[in-house]
Structure 1
Amino acid sequence: MTFFDDKIAQIRGELKTEARQKEMQASLTQELVNKGIAEGELTVDQQIFTFHSIALAEDAIWMSVPTDFDEMNPEMVTLKYPSSHRPQLILTDDSSKFNVTFLVTNNEMKPGEMSNFTYAMLSAVRSMQPNTVFLSDGIKELSNQEIGYLEMLTPALDGTIYNLLFFAVWNKKIVQTSINCMEEDMALWQKFAHGMMETFTVKEE
């Protein structure tokens, strides 16, 4: 069996030339990735990636993630997320290089406040981590509600982390989801991250 990170590494090796990168970017559109993730299977450079929809919270919040992913083991959680305010759910591949995290906060949000909250978070990140490079941000409607998102590159001790961070509301509480990897692996994972975000669904009680 080929592990998720091995598939990514093989594709990364194929993308070392600028011409090959342009070829993949032209052929592997975000629309194609979104469709493959929603349908449960996507083939990239003869590597097959499969996805399934899982419940992130109480059978009420769902999102498609790679079938290779499982909950991170407690020892690795303590190492990678030492803060007591760590996410409630951390899904990862066998190498722990690619992660999906999920947190229901205690903070409430009223209707119409998503834009202000998202850009307040952007300002907070910029203030606390001034070396962060923001790639994109915005507000979109998914599952009949507004989703705010920030996409960034953040310096860390062992390199630079790519992170797609997005926010929603469930039972008036702010929920926060992060899809991240190391910068060197983001060429494909970035497209996967946006495709997974597109499947994010909230079922209000």
Structure 2
Amino acid sequence: MSFHDEQIQALLNQVEQAQKPKDIRSGPVLIGDESYEFVERAFFEDKLTMYLPATFEEMPVALQKIKYPYEQRPEIVLSNEPGTVNLTLNRVDQKLQDEWVQRLTSGMKAMLQKMQPANVFYGEQLEEVNGKSIGYFDFKSPALDEPVYHNLFYFELEGETVMGSFNCPYRQYADWRDIVVQVIRSIRTVQEEEEPSV
């Protein structure tokens, strides 16, 4: 194969990669070198659903204790098989209303910036998702072996606060960043769907 043929093949590969589905609800999605099938999963007595990789499993407690060494670990810790890509969900006994979500998100970001000035912060967003306000922000933090990419998100469920987090090695940040936003946008709470119409 000549150099010219190799260039054409590389270009064709790029086009093929760009055409692969990137919508988590429409079939397998290639993230890095791995194909993920996303399925709708339910949490908190089926009051919350969201699309997550079918292969994500509950992280073993022994591994949770290492990754989250403090006593107040998240209620739900899901991860890929090696435990390098994680999503957590935690209900907090703190009252929250939809209109307070923006303030909570900005306040949590400001607190983290103050406590951990080495973190590099990116965007902060407030979105209306299926009738619910969800605030989120993302950042890069230093770690012992390699930097970590995080996305923290907040919303109200039954009048209380739900805090979610996603993290992966920073080298995989470009592969996961848009996917995580899609996961956040797939959040649906049962309370909105079951409200009686007036």
TM-score, with structure 1 as normaliser: 0.80
- How big is each residue's C-alpha offset from its partner over 1:101-151, in whole Å with a ceiling of 9 and x where there is no partner? 000001111341111111111110101111111111110001201100011
Contact 1:40 1:52 in 2 (8 A): no
1:3-53 Cα distance to aligned partner (Å, 9 max, x none): xxxxxxxxxxxxxxxx99xx58x9379xx52x3x12342246885321111
RMSD: 2.3
> What is the match of residue 132 of structure 2?
145
Q: Which runs of 5+ in 2 are unaligned?
A: 1-9
1:27 to 2:27 alignment: no
Structure 1 position 38 matched with structure 2 position 51: no
Task: Say whether 1:69 aligns with 2:48.
Answer: no
Amino acid at match of 1:70: E
Q: Would the aligned equivalents of 2:148 and 2:168 in 1 still touch at CA under 8 Å?
A: yes
- Aligned residue number for residue 113 of structure 1: 100
Q: Distance in 2 between matches of 1:111 and 1:193?
A: 21
Q: What is the match of residue 123 of structure 2?
A: 136
1:89 paired residue among 56, 73, 76:
76
Q: Which runs of 5+ in 1 are unaligned?
A: 1-18
Q: Which residue of 2 is the match for residue 58 of structure 1?
A: 45
Is 1:126 paired with 2:117?
no
Q: From 144, 152, 167, give the equivalent of 1:180.
A: 167
Distance 1:45 1:94 in 2: 15
Structure (1 or 2) with the larger CA radius of gyration: 2
Looking at structure 2, the residues matched to 161 and 44 of structure 1 have their Cα atoms a distance apart, in angstroms, of 17
TM-score normalised over the length of structure 2? 0.83
1:78 matched to which residue of 2? 65
Amino acid at match of 2:60: N
